[in-house]
Amino acid sequence: MKPYLTSTYFLISLALWLVSCSESNQQTHTYQPESSDQVFVNVNVIPMTGEQIIQGQDVWVRNGKIAEIVPSGEIEITEGIQTIQGDGKYLMPGLAEMHAHIPDLAPDGDNALIKETLFLYLAGGITTIRGMLGQPYHIELKELVAEGEVLGPRIYTSGTSINGNSVPDLATADSIVRAHKNEGYDFLKIHPGLKREVFDEVVATAKEVGIPYAGHVPVDVGIRHAIASDYASIDHVDGYLEGLVPEDAGVYPNENGFFGYNFTNLASTDLIPELAQMTKEKGVAIVPTQALMERWTSTEEPQATISQPEMKYMSPRTREQWVQRKYSFQQLENYDGEMVDKFIDIRRQMIKALYDNDVLIVLGSDAPQIFNVPGFSIHHELVAMKNCGLSDFQSIELGTSNPAKYFAREGDFGTIVKGTAADLILVNKNPLEDVTRIQDNAGVMVAGKWLSETEIQTELAKIAEKYAD
């Protein structure tokens, strides 16, 4: 064969191959769900694997997990399949509340308040909670939720409080840590009051048996020793403001007041980079609960705060207790609006520095503490993170993909990719432009169970009626 004919033959063959590839690529696959599956149709997906939106997708859910994410029209919708219309809406991962509280069983064994609280979390788009004051029933409850027998978010739970009264000596420290590990708690909850030597025994035993510890920083321990002791997380940014007080200030540590408030005017922000770098180097995560601090200490009248619409989901007794606690703080001898503003600003600077130093920050609000209604307070915390200087995407990241990293569960939840848990929020408008839009949603899915906006509002109305004055 002549050379030029060989060359021509090759070019024709190449052209035919490219055409066949093009035709093959243009063919669409057809996915065929079963009648027990669910499909979000024509939705804009926010996967939280990066700052992006994948428009016009169908998301197929099977057995509580995401089976496929494909361009709209590729999934065959047959009779019996539950479809959730997503036209113009945005699908994002469910949020995590990383400093939550769960009621314990009532003395009569009634668990109505527990189910109510779990539903409030779900109503706010929270599909994972980390319970920060565990009780024996919470271990059972965790399994009941995982098995689908109780409706609620995924649960991680601490043991009972480890504090200066419950753990007064070394022997108790050793025994209670071993007991919590054997009983099946996920981690230890550190509270104030521990002596340093007792704290060190808690840490040593916890490392020996393999159970994480998180929470407060006892005054006798101090923030630098706490960071060096490998906390899983330090919550409330506890101990950091005290750590900004120069050594030559000569303060008595126990006079620190509410999370260091009394030392506000002594704190040196020049020490922030050091603490942020230490935290990063030791791999300690932070749960800020900044909205709690701001709402509790602000100069706003307690009656104005308690008048917010979400407060109707709490009992009159709880609402009154919250009002009184804020009044009590505002009546402190050194309470001053300017000092409060400085206290809040220092905390914001600290949180931003921690974030900028690549410290793992996870979203938590400490619900239901003062003015923090479960499921609603996490949205105040999202705004609080923006006020610290984070973007909308970065703030959302703290409540979605970051908690999965914290639990070493990346790929299991916190993002929207094939194989992850179907823990989802269908938001009416783009939340990456404004985090407050997450509250305006068309429903929440938890482990593949869809709760429509109508279902959520109906149940919320029942709770509000129960607690009507």
Architecture of domain 95-410+452-466: Alpha-Beta Barrel (3.20)
- Tens of pLDDT along 65-80? 999 999 999 998 888 8
The answer to whether 337 and 355 are in contact (CB under 8 A) is no
Residue 299 tokens, joined: 């100069």
Q: Note the pLDDT of residue 107.
A: 84
Please name the residues in contact with 298: beta carbons below 8 A apart, sequence gap of 6 or more.
305, 340
Q: What whole-number distance in Å separates Cα of residue 172 and Cα of residue 190?
A: 14
pLDDT at 383: 98
Q: Are 414 and 401 in contact (CB under 8 A)?
A: yes
Look at residue 445 in the predicted model and tell me its pLDDT.
98
pLDDT at 108: 83
**Residue 66 structure tokens:** 């995401």
Tokens of 378: 């996490």
248, two tokens: 């030559």
CA distance 206 to 318: 35
Find tokens 């006798």 and name the residue. Answer: 220
State how far the Cα of 331 lies from the Cα of 333, in Å rounded to an integer: 6
In the chain, % helix, strand, coil (3-state, to 5) comes to: 45, 20, 35
Dist CA 37 CA 248 (whole Å): 65
On the CB side of 136, how many CA atoms lie within 13 Å of its CA?
A: 4
Cα–Cα distance for residue pair 162/254, rounded to 1 Å: 19
Number of Cβ within 10 Å of residue 256's Cβ equals 17
Q: CB 130: neighbour CB atoms within 10 A? A: 26
Q: What is the pTM of this model?
A: 0.92
- Using CA atoms, how far residue 260 sits from 99, 149, 279, 467, in Å, is 20, 43, 18, 35
Distances (CA, A) of 282 to 64, 228, 274, 324, 360: 36, 7, 12, 39, 11
Query: What are the tens digits of pLDDT across the range 214-233?
Result: 999 999 999 999 999 999 99
Rounded CA gap, 363 and 394, in Å?
A: 11
Q: What's the CA gap between 57 and 49, in Å, rounded? A: 16
Structural contact between residues 363 and 289, judged by C-beta atoms closer than 8 angstroms: no
Structural contact between residues 241 and 260, judged by C-beta atoms closer than 8 angstroms = yes
Rounded to a whole number, what is the largest CA-CA distance in the chain?
Answer: 103
Nearest to 464 by CA among 319, 263, 350, 325: 319
Tokens of 209: 């048996």
Positions of the chain with pLDDT under 50: 1-6, 10, 12, 14, 16, 19, 21-27
What pLDDT, on a 0 to 100 scale, did the predictor assign at position 230?
97
**β 449-452/441-446 pair status:** antiparallel
Contact between residue 167 and residue 194 where contact means Cβ atoms under 8 Å apart: yes
DSSP for 345-391 reads HHHHHHHHHHHHTT--B-----BTSTT--TTTHHHHHHHHHHHTT--
Quote the pLDDT of residue 5: 43
Torsion of CA 249, 255, 259, 263, to 10 degrees: -30
Tell me which residue of 235, 284, 227 sits closest to 259, measured CA to CA. Answer: 235
DSSP secondary structure code for residue 60 in this structure: E
Locate the domains of the chain by residue range.
Answer: 95-410+452-466
Q: Tell me which residue of 152, 136, 135 sits closest to 144, measured CA to CA.
A: 152
Task: Find, among 129, 141, 45, the residue nearest to 92 by Cα.
Answer: 45
